[in-house]
């Protein structure tokens, strides 16, 4: 999880899709940039929609976002290599990540990730 610059919130990495970039590629790139960690896509988790007011804009502007989250399996990296948009990166056990997440919709995303991780570890036998 990340603490974005100058905020005390714990959040999941996210960002903009670049022109011509696939959403999955953007998710991997943004994760690498914001956390210093790389991973391979396991599956799409969900898409959320929300808005906020960018008070730093003059005049303040309402921003509407649509964010798709993917479950990634860690491959390599170093959390100290995160970009300047992030103050802090921490790797939490999933239950602690759910507890620490600052935004309710991201708690839901993390719960879904927990379900999928559990299903991968304990596949149902016929």
pTM, entire model: 0.87
Q: List pLDDT tens digits, range 32-74.
A: 999 999 999 999 999 999 998 888 888 989 999 999 999 999 9
Peptide linkage before 86 cis (omega within 30 of 0) = no
Q: How confident is the model at residue 7 (pLDDT cuts 50, 70, 90)?
A: confident
Q: List pLDDT tens digits, range 85-125.
A: 999 999 999 999 999 999 999 999 999 999 999 988 776 65
pLDDT score for 57: 85
CA 63, 16, 110, 44 torsion: positive or negative? Answer: positive
């Amino acid at each position: 999880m990340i603490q974005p610059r100058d905020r005390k919130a714990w959040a999941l990495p996210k960002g903009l899709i670049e022109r011509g970039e696939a959403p999955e590629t953007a998710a991997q790139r943004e994760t690498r940039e914001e956390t210093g960690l790389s991973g391979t896509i396991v599956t799409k988790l969900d898409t959320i929609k929300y808005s906020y007011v960018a008070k730093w804009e003059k005049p303040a502007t309402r921003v509407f976002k649509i964010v798709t989250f993917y479950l990634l399996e860690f491959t390599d990296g170093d959390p100290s290599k995160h970009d300047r948009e992030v103050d802090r990166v921490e790797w939490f056990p999933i239950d602690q990540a759910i507890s620490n997440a600052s935004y309710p919709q991201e708690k839901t995303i993390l719960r879904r990730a927990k379900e999928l991780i559990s299903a991968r570890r304990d596949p149902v036998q016929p």
